[in-house]
Each structure stands twice: as structure tokens, then as C-alpha cells.
Amino acid sequence: MTTRVIVTGTGTPIADPNRAGPGVLITHGETHMQFDTGRATVMRLAATGVMLGDLTAVFLTHQHSDHVVGLTDLLMTRWLEGSGTGGAPLPVYAPSGMAADLAQHILVPWQRELEMRAAHVGYPGKPFAEVHDFEPATKPERIFSDAGVVVEASQVRHEPVVGAVGYRITTPDGIIAISGDTAICDEVKVLAAGADVLVHEVFNKGALAADAVSDVDLIAAYHSEPEAVGRLSAEANVKLLMLTHLIPPPVTADDYADMVSATRAGGFEGELIVCDDLATVAF
């Protein structure tokens, strides 16, 4: 059986016609897990061939809008595609606090619309998330398991966001780590230790024009620069590194090459992918 890692979105809070909001789909057999649900996640999932009704669970890293704004769309479209049933309630795992609260109440503004639609076409029930909240730990702790797949979560460093997490996913084929949004930290190094695949965010401060982003130093402080990501990946003995949440987003071949060079400067010698949407690794 094969494990697939599909980066469903490589974008940021800034709209980009070529990059959906942050997200990663991991599949193994009949287990299909979506990590974060940025804008246009539903569109990218449609391209993967995984039906929304077949999703096993959603996992959120934190409550920033660019990571969760697609959850409403996912829940409602799943319901509509399932002739109003959407299958069983969709499990959503989120760190306690704002992320879990958002997942719990995200459909509240839509209740009258859902009632009207259900009454009009006879759909039974309503879409909703079955929210499982957890307290982020300082080291990986198991929060989910299904058919030989285990998901662990650990806090990362995205202050002032409280409770941001990354994930470590173990399948019978290997280990995948997802950093979420974070500054470089030991917590991610532990999550990524010996991983076959690390999906890590990157903020290439050196590639930004001096006046391109206001408060660039403030923003950079809770993200990760490419050389540091390369260094962490080398120290954690990661086999393959997938860069995502790309700031600034590469456009030209030179942009991609610059991101690779900046990451390699940290000493990482494994396989490296500067991801576009739907970048896929199978093992």
C-alpha cells in the first residue's frame, strides 16, 4: 500500500491566482487526512480525486484565517455532494482555544440558509464538524489513529498565536512531518526527526524588496527563513523536504533556484521540492 503526500495549497494570506491557501492531504489506503483548509481547498481536493465524503478527518494547525477559511466551504460542499447527508459528521482535530472554537461555530452564520436548502430539496440533517480539541504538548503526543496510521501533535512557535501546532504522521510506509506556521524551533526538529518527508513553511526575507512588505521584520520573526529550514532538516535527518507557504511566492525559474540555493546553504543535502499546488510525493 502507498502513502501519498499532496500539498493542496502553497499560498499565504495574500491572494494568488496560482496558489490556494495552505493545506496538505495525506492518504494511505482508505485513510484520507486533510491538514489545514486554506482558500480553494475544495477545488484542489477535487483535482486529487479524493471525494469530500471520503475524508477521514481534518486537522488544523492554528486559527489564522489563511489556514481555516476553506473549512466552511469544505463542510457545506461535502454535505451537498452527499445529497444532504455528507456521510457521518466530519471529525475536525484542532488545538484547544481559538482554533477549536472556530471549528465548532464556523457554520453558525449559515444556519438559516442550510435550513432553507434542506427544506427545499428534502435533504436530511445538516453539515457539521465533530470537533476534537486537544491541549498542545511540548513533545509529540498521539491524538488520532486509523487503520495503521497514527497522528501526533506538538506545539510550535508562532507567537503571538497561542496553541499553534505541527503534526507527525506515521503510516506503515514511513513518517511525514508538517510544521504548520512557525519560527525555527526545537519542537519542529523533534517532530521531523528521521522523517521521510517534511512539509515546512518558508519566509525568504532576503528575496523581498525593502519596501515590499510593511513590518517585514515583525512578520519574519514568527516564520522560518530558508537557510534555517535547511539546517533544521539536515539536523533532523529528513530525507525529503517540501517547502510551502512560500513568501514571496516564486514565479520565475530564477526565483525557484534562489529558494533552493538559500535552503541548501543550511546544509541540507536530501531531496528538495519548492512546491507548487498539488505537488505530490508517494512512497
Confidence of residue 216 (pLDDT cuts 50, 70, 90): confident
Is the bond leading into 172 cis (omega within 30 degrees of zero)? no
Q: Quick one: pLDDT at residue 77? A: 92
To the nearest whole number, what is the mean pLDDT of the chain? 92
Residue 210, pLDDT above cutoff 60: no
The answer to whether 131 and 142 have CB atoms below 8 angstroms apart is: no
Domain boundaries, given as residue ranges, for the chain? 3-282
- CATH fold label, 3-282: Metallo-beta-lactamase; Chain A (3.60.15)
Residue of 157 and 188 predicted with greater confidence: 188
DSSP letter, residue 258: H
- pLDDT of res. 166: 98
Neighbours of 265 (CB within 10 A): 13
Q: What is the CA radius of gyration of the chain?
A: 18
pLDDT band for 88, please (50, 70, 90 cuts). Answer: confident
Mean pLDDT of 119-143: 88
- CA-based nearest residue to 240, from 265, 209, 271: 271
CA distances from 98 to 14, 106, 135, 263 (A): 22, 11, 12, 33
Lowest mean pLDDT among 16-30, 86-100, 166-180: 86-100
Rounded Cα distance, 129 and 13, in Å: 24
Q: What is the pLDDT of residue 84?
A: 55
Contacts 24+ apart (CB under 8 A), 14-18: 15/39, 16/249, 18/249, 18/276, 18/277
pLDDT, average across residues 104-111: 90
**Does the pLDDT value for residue 270 go beyond 90?**
yes
Contacts of 247 (CB under 8 A, 6+ apart): 12, 202, 203, 204, 208, 219, 223
